[in-house]
Amino acid sequence: MVKSLNLRSPLGISFDGKEGPGSYGLNREVMLTILVVHESKVAANFAIVSPNETDAPRIKAAADEVLKASAPAPAGTPEELRSQVARLQEEVATLREEVAALRLKVEQARPQGGPRRAEMERPKEDENLVNLCRRLIQPRASQEQIDEAVKDIEAYVASSDDLKKQYAGILGRVLDLKYGNELGQAAMRKQLEKYGK
pLDDT tens digits, 38-68? 888 888 888 888 888 888 889 889 888 888 8
Range of the domain at 50: 2-70
Q: How far apart are CA 185 and CA 52, in angstroms?
A: 40
pTM for the predicted model, two decimal places: 0.43
Question: Do 86 and 43 belong together in one domain?
Answer: no
- Look at residue 113 in the predicted model and tell me its pLDDT: 52
Q: Are 60 and 35 in contact (CB under 8 A)?
A: no
Question: Do 176 and 142 belong together in one domain?
Answer: yes
Question: Do 106 and 188 belong together in one domain?
Answer: yes
Last residue of a domain, one of 36, 70, 104: 70
Last residue of a domain, one of 19, 43, 70: 70
Question: Do 164 and 114 belong together in one domain?
Answer: yes
The domain tally of the chain equals: 2
114 or 40: which carries more pLDDT confidence? Answer: 40
Q: Where are the beta strands (DSSP E) in 29-166?
A: 32-38, 41-48
**Residue 180: left (phi > 0), alpha (psi -120 to 50), or beta?**
left
